[in-house]
Structure 1
């Protein structure tokens, strides 16, 4: 990254960082998509098992990997403030912390997996596949978390195209091993949906090794000599990482897990309603990759400018990102309104479910507009290392406002299942407003601090 002087230069640099992040996020989304689709081709039972396993794993992974996102603003501010000597130790402490988190996940899973699965009202065969899928996946947890720590360093340097390259490399690897292990091709055992877990674990090892090789041997990463000295564990560094990272991780966890909670509450309705809800949520999650990617890009550029004490530039980047997200949300919102029926056909041919999906997608338009503000604003706040108040706002928005309001509208009004979507949109809107106010206050506070 470099200092920019005009809005045009900022826009160009921002897009150079953003586009690879977006491709990377879509690639990671596609990996889970292929696991689900290829397991479904093997058998409906394997599809159900993998879907349940994924629904348990994704909130845990996104929440804990969110903790490691703290590496990005810390490193970005070190680089922006010309404190490059601090970078290697920060990265290695991030790697140590990622291994620690991996071990905690595996130990916790060993004790809680059976009670959680046994508490679900699912067929025994589906329960068995979900358990074995998660056990298979666990062999790749350590390298996956290490990769997230290394990726945060790569992105902090503005070299997001490298992360994109690694993710795009991982996709065909994952698909090939899915094919070999799910269906038992070329002499490999036929494992069904469980094979998707092993395929993902193998892929995680490979992308961690690729990231290590890139940082060790390629410019500009090797200039930081991250692996030239083996630092001991520093509790002070861990405190800094977790002080920023835990609120980020919890914010992401509360946002992701609320959709799982709504899906569970939807069990009061018919199978068709649940299927339509899941299809609409799947498409909304796909669209969410856009504001999420903008959020991640803002953390990098805002952190860089704040580290260099160029507060006016940090402010410009912040609102530029929000504006881009809003413009894009309006564009794909209009397309969603125009082509909602055509989009619904992607998921089903059942007439009743098609109508329900089309109706859910109408609410998704408002949903996306709120996300287009709150996600980028959170990213900008992380660039300022402001995460504690952001976490509390996210908790209140999703779980104190969004979910209870959705439950009331769903059970005590004529909105029915759509009430949950109205509640979620209301929570996101409350988050967008309060977080925007928080960003304005933080920017004012930094101006006073460095005036």
Structure 2
């Protein structure tokens, strides 16, 4: 009972943790929103072309992101290894782990490029409507070129934020968003002397934006490294099999967790492609809105992982507990607010993307379902992050696999196609899956932090 009390008690210390958490989570969450803003701008502009073009970008973008996110997950081990090293004051190890992360980024690019083209070759067999298929294929082919700068940028970003350095990524996203918006306007509609490319133009704009982010983060990292030359030597650049094994041991479960989570929404998008183009367009808009709000708890999740990992690096398990609980409360509170917003203003939100009345009405009904799972979505992603900060990436993978693929997706498919609920049935399935995942991960966090407080420091710091 004593250990349980120490996990849940200490409001003054929780209040002390809130300030550094907000200082880190605020810019990270804004950066996540800026990242998502690029996709929202794509949707806003392509929605003015046609429902078919909007549906094509929805399918192409979701399938591409599913592939890219699996590669991102392999880099999530950087959070734990760099944050704990930074917490222990070992900057040399921070740089060494970063270099291994960059090597892993290069290695990642080859298989995931091949995987992307395999998925492209299978799209004609997925039952997607012919009016949507050609643009979806073209979008994916071009977006695949963005894999290397995306992986490099992700490794650099995780290194910087694990050291509480968040401004470079925020600045990079501001510049990338401006360029992305201009590129979308020019390439989708054919302005400034460029050809009118429609959905293909949105793909090229994405590639340009991701490349800009990578370049700015690389320059920022080199500037910081020049100021810390005493921690850098030639040994840092040697390929380290031990560090690589640690990254993969942490990264593979994180990748499969992301694959199970994002893959569920992508699979629903592919199923929605079998419905009327208006239903697919409504689904894509609501998914963009839900993903946009999700970026804030995702940023809080990342900040929570960093704060928990840094506390563990300082051998401060109670501090890790306070950091985790603060992140959970922060994330849950925000998602309650967004859920209420979805319920109160569904048509206003939909009309920001399209003037088609049928799409607006369909999307408004889906937004009500999305509002229900906002709280649970926030809890599950923050729980996954703070568990990752303790070195545990397996539980998120297991919960997402069971919740989405054994429970949520089969239910959604049954309601959509067997009970004729249409697109709403698919979203009910997503809602059920997220509720299960959030409950499971929350319980695992409570148990994990309790075990760490009851265990020797060496055992608590060991990744699982």
Alpha carbons 2:72, 2:255 under 8 Å: kept: yes
Aligned to 1:203: 209
SS of the equivalent of 1:218 reads helix
SS of the equivalent of 2:386 reads helix
Aligned to 1:289: 295
Q: Unmatched 5+ residue regions in structure 2?
A: 1-11, 458-464
CA spacing shift, 1:408–1:133, aligned 2, 3 Å: closer
Aligned to 1:247: 253
Aligned to 2:368: 362
CA spacing shift, 1:171–1:242, aligned 2, 3 Å: same
1:109 to 109, 112, 116: 116
Aligned to 2:157: 151
Residue 321 in structure 1 maps to residue 347 in structure 2 = no
Matches within 5 A, 1:30-429: 30-41=37-48, 47-110=54-117, 112-121=118-127, 127-183=133-189, 186=192, 191-218=197-224, 222=228, 231-266=237-272, 269-410=275-416, 417-429=423-435
Q: Partners of 1:242 and 1:395 in 2: how far apart?
A: 19
Alpha carbons 1:37, 1:47 under 8 Å: kept: no
CA spacing shift, 1:151–1:227, aligned 2, 3 Å: farther
Alpha carbons 1:344, 1:354 under 8 Å: kept: yes
Alpha carbons 2:43, 2:353 under 8 Å: kept: no
Q: Partners of 2:132 and 2:386 in 1: how far apart?
A: 42
Greater displacement, 318-327 / 274-283: 274-283
CA spacing shift, 1:272–1:123, aligned 2, 3 Å: closer
Alpha carbons 2:58, 2:269 under 8 Å: kept: no
SS of the equivalent of 1:68 reads coil
Alpha carbons 2:85, 2:91 under 8 Å: kept: yes
> Once the two structures are superposed, what CA deviation does each residue of 1:87-111 show, in whole Å capped at 9, x if it has no partner?
221101100100111122223334x
CA spacing shift, 1:312–1:221, aligned 2, 3 Å: farther
Q: Partners of 1:113 and 1:227 in 2: how far apart?
A: 42
Q: CA deviation at 1:77?
A: 0.5
Aligned to 2:19: 12
CA spacing shift, 1:114–1:412, aligned 2, 3 Å: closer
Name the TM-score, length of structure 2 as normaliser.
Answer: 0.87
Greater displacement, 297-306 / 279-288: 279-288
Aligned to 2:436: 430
CA spacing shift, 1:366–1:241, aligned 2, 3 Å: same
Q: CA deviation at 1:284?
A: 1.6
SS of the equivalent of 2:345 reads helix
Q: Partners of 2:227 and 2:137 in 1: how far apart?
A: 39
Q: CA deviation at 1:71?
A: 0.6
Q: CA deviation at 1:353?
A: 3.9
Q: How many pairs does the alignment contain?
A: 446
CA spacing shift, 1:72–1:223, aligned 2, 3 Å: farther
Q: Partners of 1:47 and 1:328 in 2: how far apart?
A: 29
Q: Partners of 2:114 and 2:417 in 1: how far apart?
A: 39
CA spacing shift, 1:343–1:201, aligned 2, 3 Å: closer
> Once the two structures are superposed, what CA deviation does each residue of 1:349-381 show, in whole Å capped at 9, x if it has no partner?
444443333322222222101112111111110
Q: CA deviation at 1:422?
A: 2.8
> Once the two structures are superposed, what CA deviation does each residue of 1:297-353 show, in whole Å capped at 9, x if it has no partner?
111111111111111111111111111222222223223322223323334444444
CA spacing shift, 1:226–1:151, aligned 2, 3 Å: farther
Aligned to 2:30: 23
CA RMSD across the alignment = 2.8
Q: CA deviation at 1:74?
A: 1.0
Alpha carbons 1:154, 1:221 under 8 Å: kept: no
